[in-house]
C-alpha cells in the first residue's frame, strides 16, 4: 500500500522540495551498535544472525515513515506501508556477490524461512541479480564482515539521492565483554533529516537490546 502525502499540511514540504530541487543531496551516518544482547538471543535460539539482523532493521523501518518514502504512480511523494530488504549473498569461490531480495513479513519465522530459501537459491548462481521481480518498495542492506570501519559512504555521482535507505554493517568487535559492530546509514535528505535518522537508530538499538526472537525450524536446511 502507498499513501500519498498531503502537501498542503506536511511540515516538511519545503524541506522536501529544497532537497529534491536546488540542493539534491543525501548523507551517510556511521554508528556503532551494541549487539551483545541480540547475538545472545540469536545463538540461544539457534538462529543465523544475518537474516535476524535484517528482520530487525526491516521491522524498525515499518515504525518510521521517513524511512519508507517513495513516489506514487503519478510522481507524488508518499509513504509505503513496508519496505522489503534487498541484500547481498557472498560467493566464497570467486569473491563476488549476488543481489537478492526477500519480502518483509512481521512474522519473524515466516520471513526467516523465506530468507533462507532465497539466499540458498542465490548461492546457486553467480549473477548480479539472483531473483527477479524486485518490488518498487525496497531498501538496500549488506554486510562487510571483513572490515571494522569507522565511516562508510555510499554515493551516486551526478545522480539524485534515493529516498530509500541504504545500510551497510561490518565486522563484530569484542571488547570489555560487549560485542559491537559499525552500521552506516545512507539516505536522501529529502526523505529524512538528522532527527529522523537519530530516532531510527535509537529505536533500532532499543530493539536489538530487547527483541525476543523465536526459534525457527529450518527443516534440515544446511
H helix and E strand count, the chain: 5, 10
Active-site residue, from 80, 91, 189, 196: 189
Beta-bridge mates of residue 71: 77
The sign of the torsion formed by the CA atoms of 61, 67, 72, 78 equals positive
Q: What is the DSSP letter of 110?
A: H
Q: What is the DSSP letter of 129?
A: B
Is 189 one of the annotated active-site residues of the chain? yes
Residue 88, all three cell numbers: 547481498
C-alpha to C-alpha distances, 175 to 40, 147, 178, nearest whole angstrom = 15, 16, 5
Which residues does the annotation mark as catalytic?
A: 189
Amino acid at each position: 500500500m502507498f499513501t500519498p502525502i498531503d502537501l498542503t499540511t506536511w511540515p516538511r514540504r519545503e524541506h522536501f522540495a529544497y532537497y529534491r530541487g536546488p540542493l539534491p543531496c543525501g548523507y551517510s551516518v556511521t554508528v556503532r551498535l551494541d549487539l551483545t544482547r541480540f547475538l545472545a538471543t540469536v545463538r540461544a535460539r539457534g538462529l543465523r544472525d544475518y537474516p535476524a539482523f535484517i528482520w530487525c532493521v526491516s521491522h524498525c523501518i515499518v515504525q518510521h515513515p521517513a524511512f519508507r518514502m517513495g513516489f506514487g504512480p503519478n510522481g507524488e511523494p508518499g509513504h509505503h506501508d513496508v519496505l522489503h530488504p534487498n541484500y547481498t549473498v557472498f560467493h566464497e569461490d570467486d569473491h563476488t556477490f549476488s543481489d537478492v531480495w526477500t519480502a518483509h513479513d512481521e512474522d519473524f519465522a515466516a520471513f526467516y524461512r523465506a530468507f533462507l530459501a532465497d539466499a540458498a537459491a542465490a548461492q546457486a548462481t553467480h549473477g548480479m541479480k539472483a531473483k527477479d521481480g524486485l518490488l518498487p518498495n525496497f531498501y538496500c542492506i549488506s554486510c562487510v564482515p571483513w572490515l571494522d570501519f569507522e565511516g562508510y559512504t555510499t554515493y551516486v555521482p551526478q545522480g539524485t539521492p534515493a529516498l530509500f535507505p541504504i545500510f551497510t554493517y561490518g565486522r563484530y568487535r569484542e571488547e570489555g565483554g560487549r560485542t559491537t559492530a559499525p552500521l552506516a546509514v545512507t539516505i536522501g535528505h529529502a526523505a529524512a533529516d538528522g532527527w529522523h535518522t537519530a530516532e531510527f537508530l535509537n529505536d533500532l538499538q532499543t530493539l536489538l537490546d530487547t527483541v525476543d526472537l523465536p526459534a525457527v525450524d529450518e527443516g534440515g536446511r544446511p
